[in-house]
C-alpha cells in the first residue's frame, strides 16, 4: 500500500520549488498563492460535481418523480450516483473501512500507532500542516485504482493470534518507495502546471474559474475512463496471496452451513416482517392486474421466494398453476414447456423442437378459452433461463391472454435480457419488493463460489469412485497424485508424461504392460478423475483436475484407510 512518510513542510516546499523552477523559489508568497488557488480549484471541482448531480436530479424530476413517496423504492437517487465512474476512496481500503466500522476500542488504536508510526501523519498536528495534508490527499487521489492491495496494517493486527499466518510473508507485491516518490512528483508537476495560470493572472484578467474547473473535471473523467481500461487490461493484479486453506478452518459443507446459519438469529426480523406485510397487501391488486392482461415482475434485494409462495398458497389454490424454480441448475425451457403440455394439457407425445411445442400450446390455449394457467417463475434471470431463445419462448408464452405470469428477478443486469420486442410481449408491470430475507434456496444450488463446499464435494466423489476400484488401480492413482503434489510449487507443471508414469508404475509392480495401464487410465478418464493433455512435443501428459488442497486431504484419508 501507499507508504506515507512524515516530511516537514519546508522539505515539501523545497521539493516543489525544485521541480517547479527557480522562479518560484524567489517568491515564496506567490507559491503559497498558487497553492491556495489549487486548493480552491479542488473545491470548485466538488462544486461542479454537485452542480451536475443537481442537473441529473432535474432530469429525474422531469420524469415525474416524487421524493415524498414513503414506502417506495429509493428511486430518488439519480442515475449518476448509481452508475457513475466516481472514484471510491481508494486510500481507505477495505480493512480501514472495516476498522472504521468496527470502531475498535482504545487499546487497539494504540497498538496501531506502535505498529506503524506513519499513521500519525494522517492526522495533522497543527494548522501549518494543512498544506501538506492536502498534498497527501492528492497523492491518494492519484493512486491508481487497480492497485488494490489488501490492508497490511489490519492483517498484522488480525493475524496476531494466528502464528501460522505470521510465519510467512504473504505479500505477492508490495508498493515500493519509488512509487511513492513518483506520486510525489506527479503532485509537484500538477502544482507547477497550476502555477502557470497563477502567473498570468497577475498580468491579465483571471480566466473564468468555472470553465477551468470544468476542464479539470473533464480531464478527471477522461482519466477515470482510461484508468478503467488500464486496470482491466493488465493481467497483473496485486492482492495478497493468502488462501482459505491456510486459515485451517474446518471445511463447511452445505449441511453444516445450514445448521450454523440456523443458529445465527435473523437480524431485523420484525422489520422484515413489516416489509413483507406491505407487499402482501398488494396480492389482490396483482391478481387484478394479471387478469387485465399485464404480467408482473418483482425486483429488489432479498429473496422473493417466500413472498411468491405466500401469494400462491393464499390466492391460487383454486386454479391450475405452474411453479418454476429458475434457480434450479438443470432447469430448461424445454422442461417448462413439457410440464405445460404433459401435465396441464395432458398431451402425450413429443415435439421436434421447443418452437413446435410452443405453437401447440398457443393453439390449444386459443382454442379453449376456459383454459387458464398461472405461471410463477422464481428467478427468471437465472443462468439457465436468461438465454435469448428461452426468453423469447417465455415471452411468447406470457403474451397469451389466458396465461398469467408472475416472476422475480435478482441480477443487477437482468433487465438487459429483454429488448423492446420481448418487453412488449411480456407486458410487465414492475413491482419493487425488497424483502431483505436471505436467499436460502436460491444460493443452495450454486457451489462454485463456496470454495469449501465444492472442495468437499470433489473430495467425497473422489473417495467414492476410488473405493470401487481395485487396489492396483488405487495405487496407480496414488502415484499420480503424489507426483502432482510433489510438483505443486511449479506453476508451469504440465503433468506427468505417460512414459514416466509407466516406468514408475512398473517399478511399483502395479502394471505389467503399457496396455493395462492405458486401460486403467481410460477408466479414470471416464470418471473424470484425470485429464490428458498433449504437449508441444506430442507427448501425452496426465493431470488430476483437482486443487492441491483436496488432493492432500485425499491422500491423508487414503492413509487413514490403509
Partner 1 sequence: GCFVFKPSTKKRRSSEKTAHDFRSRSDDSEDTELRFVTCQSLWTQIKSETEQIQEDLNKQLLDNLVNFLSRSHSEFQEKTTEWTCRMKFREIPTAALVLGVNVTDHDLTFRGLSDVLQDNVTPYIALLEAKDCPGIKNLMQKLMGQLMNCDVDVDSLEDEDCVQVSQNRIRCSMSSLISWYESVTKKTDSETPSKKRNSSSRQWQSPPVVVIFKDMESFTTKVLQDFIVISSQHICELPLVLIFGIATSPMIIHRLLPHSVSSLLCIELFQSLSCKEHLSTIIDKLLLTSRFPFKLGGKVLQVLINIFLYHDFSVQNFIKGFQLCIVEHFYSQPLSVLCCQLVDVKKRVYSLSHDQCENIRRLPSFRRYVENQESGKQIALLTYDSFLKEETEKLLEDLHVYHENYVSILRCLHVLTSSLPKYPLGKQIRELHCACLENRVWETEEYESSLQLARMLNKTDLVTMLQQCVEILMSSSGKEFDKTVEKLKEFLTQFQNLEEASQERDVSVSSQKELQKKTDLYHLQKTLLELKESRRSKKLTKFETLRFEVVDYIDSLVRKYLVPADDRTLHEIVYFNAATILRGHLNAAPRTALHTALNNPHWYLKNQALKCDGGGISNKAPDICIVYKLHLECGRLINLVDWLEAFSTVVMAAEEPNADAASSDQVDDIIHARFIRAVSELELLGFIKPSKQKTDHVARLTWGGC
Rule CB under 8 A: which of 154-193 touch partner 1?
154-155, 158
> Which DSSP string corresponds to 76-131?
TS-HHHHH--PPP-TTS-HHHHHHHHHT--HHHHHHHHHH-GGGGGGS-SSGGGHH
Which segments within 241-327 are labelled E, that is strand?
Answer: 295-299, 321-325
Region 415-434 residues binding partner 1, contact defined as CB under 8 A: 415, 420-421, 423-424, 427, 429-432, 434
Region 433-472 residues binding partner 1, contact defined as CB under 8 A: 434, 436, 438-439, 442-443, 446, 448-452
| Interface pattern 202-241 for partner 1 (x via CB under 8 A) | ----------------------x---x--xx----xxxxx
C-alpha cell at 250: 474446518
**Distance from C-alpha of 251 to C-alpha of 553, rounded to nearest angstrom:** 11
Give the shortest CB-176-to-partner 1 separation in angstroms.
18
**Please, which residue, 63 or 562, has the CB nearer to partner 1?**
63
**Please, which residue, 196 or 440, has the CB nearer to partner 1?**
440
For residue 322, give the nearest of 444, 423, 404, 402 by alpha carbon.
Answer: 404
274 binds partner 1 (CB under 8 A): yes
**Please, which residue, 392 or 398, has the CB nearer to partner 1?**
392
Cβ atoms of 361 and 418 closer than 8 Å: no
**Please, which residue, 88 or 538, has the CB nearer to partner 1?**
88
* Count of residues of this chain found to bind partner 1 when the rule CB under 8 A is applied: 141
User: Among 51, 192, 253, 325, which residue interacts with partner 1 (rule: CB under 8 A)?
Assistant: 325
**Distance from C-alpha of 259 to C-alpha of 280, rounded to nearest angstrom:** 29
58 binds partner 1 (CB under 8 A): no
**Distance from C-alpha of 523 to C-alpha of 539, rounded to nearest angstrom:** 20
Cβ atoms of 380 and 329 closer than 8 Å: no
> Which DSSP string corresponds to 524-546?
HHHTTS-EEEE-TTS-EEEE--S
**Please, which residue, 27 or 419, has the CB nearer to partner 1?**
419
Numbers of helices and strands, H then E, in the chain: 25, 8
90 binds partner 1 (CB under 8 A): yes
**Please, which residue, 409 or 529, has the CB nearer to partner 1?**
409
Cβ atoms of 422 and 392 closer than 8 Å: yes
Region 354-413 residues binding partner 1, contact defined as CB under 8 A: 355, 370, 392, 409-413
Instruction: Name the DSSP letter for residue 146.
Output: T
Give the shortest CB-372-to-partner 1 separation in angstroms.
8
Region 482-521 residues binding partner 1, contact defined as CB under 8 A: none
350 binds partner 1 (CB under 8 A): no
Region 117-156 residues binding partner 1, contact defined as CB under 8 A: 145-148, 150-151, 154-155
**Distance from C-alpha of 215 to C-alpha of 207, rounded to nearest angstrom:** 12
Give the shortest CB-54-to-partner 1 separation in angstroms.
17
Amino acid at each position: 500500500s501507499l507508504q506515507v512518510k512524515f516530511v516537514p513542510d519546508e522539505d515539501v516546499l523545497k521539493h516543489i520549488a525544485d521541480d517547479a523552477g527557480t522562479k518560484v523559489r524567489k517568491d515564496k508568497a506567490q507559491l503559497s498563492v498558487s497553492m491556495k488557488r489549487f486548493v480552491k480549484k479542488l473545491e470548485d471541482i466538488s462544486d461542479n460535481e454537485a452542480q451536475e448531480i443537481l442537473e441529473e436530479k432535474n432530469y429525474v424530476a422531469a420524469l415525474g418523480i416524487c421524493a415524498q413517496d414513503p414506502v417506495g423504492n429509493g428511486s430518488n437517487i439519480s442515475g449518476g450516483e448509481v452508475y457513475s465512474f466516481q472514484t471510491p476512496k481508494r486510500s481507505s481500503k477495505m480493512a480501514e473501512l472495516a476498522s472504521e466500522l468496527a470502531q475498535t476500542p482504545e487499546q487497539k488504536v494504540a497498538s496501531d500507532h506502535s505498529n506503524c508510526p506513519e499513521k500519525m501523519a494522517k492526522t495533522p498536528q497543527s494548522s501549518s500542516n494543512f498544506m501538506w495534508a492536502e498534498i497527501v490527499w492528492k497523492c491518494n487521489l492519484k493512486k491508481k485504482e487497480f492497485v488494490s492491495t489488501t490492508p497490511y496494517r489490519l492483517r498484522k493486527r488480525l493475524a496476531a493470534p494466528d502464528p501460522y499466518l505470521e510465519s510467512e510473508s504473504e505479500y505477492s507485491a508490495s508498493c515500493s518507495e519509488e512509487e511513492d516518490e513518483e506520486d510525489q512528483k506527479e503532485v509537484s508537476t500538477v502544482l507547477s502546471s497550476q502555477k502557470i495560470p497563477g502567473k498570468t493572472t497577475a498580468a491579465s484578467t483571471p480566466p473564468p474559474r468555472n470553465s477551468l474547473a470544468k476542464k479539470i473535471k473533464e480531464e478527471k473523467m477522461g482519466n477515470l475512463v482510461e484508468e478503467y481500461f488500464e486496470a482491466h487490461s493488465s493481467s497483473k493484479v496485486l492482492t495478497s496471496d493468502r488462501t482459505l486453506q491456510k486459515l485451517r478452518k474446518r471445511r463447511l459443507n452445505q449441511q453444516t452451513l445450514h445448521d450454523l446459519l440456523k443458529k445465527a438469529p435473523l437480524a431485523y426480523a420484525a422489520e422484515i416482517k413489516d416489509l413483507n406485510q406491505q407487499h402482501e397487501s398488494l396480492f389482490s391488486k396483482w391478481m387484478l392486474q394479471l387478469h387485465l392482461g399485464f404480467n408482473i415482475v418483482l425486483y429488489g434485494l432479498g429473496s422473493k421466494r417466500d413472498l411468491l409462495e405466500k401469494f400462491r398458497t393464499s390466492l391460487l389454490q383454486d386454479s391450475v398453476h405452474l411453479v418454476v424454480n429458475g434457480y434450479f441448475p438443470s432447469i430448461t425451457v424445454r422442461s417448462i414447456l413439457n410440464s405445460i403440455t404433459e401435465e396441464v394439457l395432458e398431451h402425450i407425445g413429443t415435439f421436434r423442437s421447443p418452437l413446435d411445442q410452443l405453437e401447440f400450446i398457443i393453439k390449444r390455449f386459443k382454442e379453449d378459452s376456459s383454459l387458464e394457467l398461472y405461471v410463477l417463475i422464481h428467478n427468471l434471470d437465472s443462468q439457465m433461463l436468461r438465454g435469448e431463445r428461452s426468453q423469447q419462448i417465455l415471452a411468447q408464452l406470457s403474451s397469451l391472454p389466458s396465461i398469467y405470469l408472475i416472476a422475480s428477478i435478482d441480477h443487477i443486469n437482468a433487465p438487459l435480457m429483454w429488448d423492446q420486442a420481448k418487453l412488449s410481449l411480456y407486458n410487465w408491470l414492475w413491482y419493487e419488493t425488497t424483502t431483505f430475507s436471505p436467499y436460502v434456496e436460491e444460493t443452495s444450488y450454486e457451489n462454485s463460489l463456496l470454495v469449501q463446499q465444492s472442495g468437499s464435494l470433489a473430495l467425497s466423489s473422489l473417495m467414492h469412485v476410488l473405493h470401487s476400484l481395485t487396489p492396483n488401480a488405487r495405487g496407480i492413482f496414488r502415484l499420480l497424485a503424489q507426483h502432482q503434489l510433489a510438483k505443486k510449487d511449479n506453476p508451469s507443471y504440465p503433468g506427468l508424461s505417460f512414459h514416466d508414469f509407466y516406468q514408475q508404475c512398473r517399478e511399483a509392480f502395479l502394471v505389467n504392460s503399457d496396455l493395462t495401464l492405458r486401460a486403467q487410465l481410460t477408466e479414470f478418464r471416464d470418471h473424470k478423475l484425470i485429464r490428458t493433455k498433449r504437449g508441444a512435443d506430442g507427448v501425452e501428459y496426465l493431470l488430476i483436475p483437482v486443487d492441491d488442497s483436496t488432493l492432500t486431504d485425499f491422500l491423508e484419508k487414503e492413509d487413514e484407510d490403509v
